[in-house]
Each structure stands twice: as structure tokens, then as C-alpha cells.
Structure 1
Amino acid sequence: MTLSSSSVFPLGTQDVFAMAEDLGYDGVEVMVTHNGWSQDPVKLNRLSEKHGMPIHSIHAPTLLFTQQVWGSAWNKLAKSADLAREVGAEVVVAHPPFRWQGNYASGFAEGIREIMEATGVLICVENMYPWRASGREAKMYLPHWDPVPEDYDYVIWDFSHAAIAQENSLDAFRSLGDRLRHVHLTDGTANGKDEHMLPGDGDQPVAECIEYLGETGWDGAVCVEVGTRKTKYAGEREEMLVYSLEFARHHLAAGAARSASGRDPEDQDTVERSPLP
């Protein structure tokens, strides 16, 4: 169970390590942004060692708001893989290419394989969602926002993105099989906004999906990526992140127990959270 640095925004990259340690996480995911700490392997290794929090994954700066970070699209991925190797991370998270990115978009699958072979780091392509303007879908990604049918070796699944796309995440998990290597634990609804809600607060089958991972003996990483920037009182962010951690551990354990005993999914307890003000 890891904690994404985006889950502590607007706090900085340097803050996720102490929070993950305090709340009982097993490691962190660092999203590379304009924050210098997120780009510096020496500082990241120092923080990792100080707090006993391994860096499991690096989120490449392939978002729209990080277009100016690390130059060209291929350079972003290559530098992210190098950073991952320097800090001991196993995975690089990347978004699918935008249609206007030329050779990067048309040669994406082959290019990421070359980087993986050169560095030994897994590059996982994240599921996105259709963009809509005036009620019509705008073709933003090439070849598509859905990585399931594409020729990618490894995929990361984000429940908030799946909610916008109105995809069935459990069906996707079953289809992906061993290609699923990383999960962003969150939730959302089909209202067109990337909400990154607490797991269980949206309309995705998050609990069922996490139990499925536990039941199948999945050995990837579940990374909490929920939005906490609108917290209203001291300690609310920590409450949200503890709840998300407990949600994941409970449902992973429930799935593993069902696999061992043959119990029906309907017999499993659910995590209850005290309502937040």
C-alpha cells in the first residue's frame, strides 16, 4: 500500500514521506511536477531513508499541467525511468499520448518497450477518459484513452478515470490479467469531472475490485490517490488517508480469505467510515 504525493496536495513532494510514515503506509509514489524535490534523486533518496518509506513508483510528467517539465514527451519518459532506477522504484506511470504528439503518439508502444529494456523499469499506461465539448467527444488521445485493448505490456488502473468513462472496472481487471501492475485507489461518478473521491464514495465497484485482487493473489501495488486539497479542518486529510489505507487492506484481506476458504463475496464485511463534517 503506497501513498501518492498528489494525495497531499497542496503540500509538497517532501511532505508525502512523513505523512506516509505517520499513517502506516508501506511506501510512496512521487508525481514529477514543477516542484524541484520531485525531480531530484538525491533529495528523494534522503527523504526515503529518513522516513523508512521506499519509493515504489514515479508518475511521469505527462499531464497537461506539467507540459513544461523535462521537455519533449520522450524525454519525460526517459528521465522518469532514469529517476525511478536511481531511487529504486519499480514502476513509471504514464498517460497515453495526446493526438497532436506526432511520432511519440504513433510509436508509443514500441518506444516504451525500448525504455523498459534499457532501464529495467516497468512503464505502466494509465486508463484515461473521453473529453467532451458541447456534448460531443473530442478525440484527445492516440490511439485511445482506454489501454485495455491496446498493445501495452503493463497498465495502471484509476477508478476516478473509469467513472468518467463509465467503464466497468471489474470487467477491466479480469480482461487485463497479469498486465495490470498498479492501481490508483480512488473513486468517482459519471458526471464528467475527475473527482478522485474516497474509495466507496462514488459509483465504481471499488471494493469488489480490490477483493478480486486479493482473491487472485495479485502482486502489484495499490496506491492511494485521492483529492484532499479541500479539507475543512485540521486532521481531516489524515482521516481521509487512513480511511483509504484501511479500506484497501480490509478488502485485499477479504479477497485473500475468500480464496483460501471458498466463502461467497456476499458474506464479506464492509468498511464503515464515520461521516466527515
Structure 2
Amino acid sequence: MSMKFAFSTLGVPGLPVPQVLALATDHGYHGVELRAHPEEPVHPGLGPAARAEVAAEFKAAGVEVLGVAGYARVAAPGADAPVLDEVRGLLQLAHDLGASYVRVFPGADPDLPAAESDAIAARRLGTVAEDAAALGVRVLLETHDSHRTGAAAIRVLGPVGHRMVGSLWDVMHTWLGGEQPAESYAALAPHLGYVQVKDIASAEDTTPLPLGAGVLPLSECVEVLSRHGWDGWLCWEYEKRWYEAATPLPGLLAAGREHLARLLTESA
């Protein structure tokens, strides 16, 4: 099996790192995406000793820190400096934890011309690309909010043209944006860091569901990745933090992993 499985701590809000690692090892996940927010155990405010401890815990468990999911909005209006500082802080955190990736959002102002927002994002990502290269961590622009499709994301990534700046394919947002998995993959493939999988009931009801229980084209996404020999990470982003009534993630992890493994087998 070529692809590796991870889950995001967005699905287990506030859970201490040892318990997150127990869930990963008990249910056969190779990695964890850490939501880097002050309300979580791991965030950019952690000191060096705490960072070293988290890195050691992951290493001892044999689980990878896949990425640090930050909230910097690289296309947002305003001065560059605060955004650049935020991204650099995330890059340093990822480096200290041994993570390969940092997630950023577009976050453009819908009232600005798209070309202007694209240029802002490309300029900022181009600026932090050298920091990313120095630290050995890739910055990934998630298909999200103002740039939810692959076609929108490459308007930013194309002009940046740096190997340390790539894309995070959130399959829900490309679907909500009306893009077919094959189209999303074709756009994002040259830049693709990893893929976030999830499931929802409908475009109107985005409450998280167990994988395979909703409408998202997960089998098509896995099939197109397999067909092109892609061997990266599938990360289950279960948005429990935003939907308190959703079923708790821990009880779903085993079946979710089995579902992804089955999709991989069927697409082989």
C-alpha cells in the first residue's frame, strides 16, 4: 500500500499529545496533522523544551507529525509583515517538531479584485519560500475559502514557482467549488503536498460524517491519485471542533482507516 494515513487533531479538540498518539498507534495511522491554535496543546507559543518533548513523544510512538495546520491568511488585505511573521513562526514550529508541512489559508477579501489578492498571496509565499527551504519545511496553500478549487489555487502557486511552496488539497472545498477530482488533481499535481479527506451529508450540511457515509467523491479522489502513482498522505480532517454534536472521532478512526484502505485496494 503506497499512501499513508493521518488524522487531524481538529477531530479531537484539546486532546493531550499522549492520548492523540495512543489513538494513532491503536488504529494504524502513520501520522497526525496538528492543529496549531492557542487552544490546543501544540501551538507557536510553545517554548523550546515543550517542543522537544512533543517531538520526542512522536518519535517514541513511531508516529510522524505530518504537518502543522496554521491559520495564517496569505491573501488577506493589509500589511505583509504580520502575515510573514505568522508563517515564519509556523515554519519554525514545524521544523522543531520534525514536521514536513505547514498549512496556510488564502483568506482573500471578496471585495478586492481576484488578481490583486492572487498577487498579494504570491508575493508573501514567494518571500517565505526561502525561510521554508532553510528549515526544510514546505508551506502548503489549502484549497479553502476564497481559493477553494485547484484552478483558483494555481493562480497563486504558478507565479510563486518554488518547490517549497505547494498545495494542500481539501477534497470538500474543491467539490463545493464544482470541480471534479480529476480536474483538481490535474491543477494541483505539480504542487501537491498532501490530501485532506472527509465526508459530509450535502453542500448545505457540512457536519462531519464517518468516511464513506456522505456525498464527497472519496473513491474518485483516491482513484485519480492511484492512477497517477501518487504515494503521499491522506489526512482525515474531521471538523469536530466546529460541530460539537458530531459523533466523537475516536470511535470512528478504525472504520475510517479501513475505508481508506479499501478505496486504495479497489483503485489498485
User: Scaled by the length of structure 1, what TM-score is found?
Assistant: 0.72
Q: Deviations over 1:215-259 (max 9, x none)?
A: 222122111111344355xxx53332222212222222332x3xx
- Among 182, 198, 212, the alignment partner of 1:186 is 198
Q: Indicate yes or no: 2:198 matched with 1:215.
A: no
Q: Indicate yes or no: 2:208 matched with 1:204.
A: no
How many residues of Structure 1 are paired with residues of Structure 2 in the alignment?
235
List runs of 5+ in structure 2 lacking aligned partners: 74-80, 159-164
2:157 corresponding residue in structure 1: 151
- Among 73, 79, 95, the alignment partner of 2:83 is 73
Q: Indicate yes or no: 2:106 matched with 1:119.
A: no
User: Scaled by the length of structure 2, what TM-score is found?
Assistant: 0.75
Matched ranges for 1:1-277 at <5 A: 1-9=5-13, 11-12=15-16, 15-35=19-39, 37-39=41-43, 40=46, 41-62=51-72, 72-99=82-109, 105=121, 107-129=123-145, 146-152=152-158, 153-188=165-200, 191-192=203-204, 194-228=206-240, 229-231=244-246, 237-255=249-267, 257=268
1:108 shift after superposition: 2.5
Distance 2:64 2:205 in 1: 32
Give the partner amino acid of 1:127. Answer: T
24-33 or 187-196, which deviates more? 187-196
1:96 shift after superposition: 1.2
Alignment check: 8 A CA contact 2:174 2:184 kept = no
Cα 1:166/1:14, change in 2 over 3 Å: farther
Q: Deviations over 1:52-72 (max 9, x none)?
A: 212121112337xxxxxxx93
1:186 shift after superposition: 0.5
Q: SS at 2:238's partner residue?
A: coil
Higher relative CO (Cα under 8 Å, sequence separation at least 6) belongs to 2
Alignment check: 8 A CA contact 2:169 2:188 kept = no
Cα 1:114/1:87, change in 2 over 3 Å: same
Q: CA RMSD in A?
A: 3.1
Cα 1:104/1:80, change in 2 over 3 Å: farther
Alignment check: 8 A CA contact 1:186 1:197 kept = yes
Distance 1:124 1:5 in 2: 18
Identity %: 21
Distance 1:170 1:203 in 2: 17
Give the partner amino acid of 2:152. Answer: D
Alignment check: 8 A CA contact 1:13 1:37 kept = yes
Q: SS at 1:44's partner residue?
A: helix
Cα 1:11/1:231, change in 2 over 3 Å: farther
Cα 1:43/1:36, change in 2 over 3 Å: farther
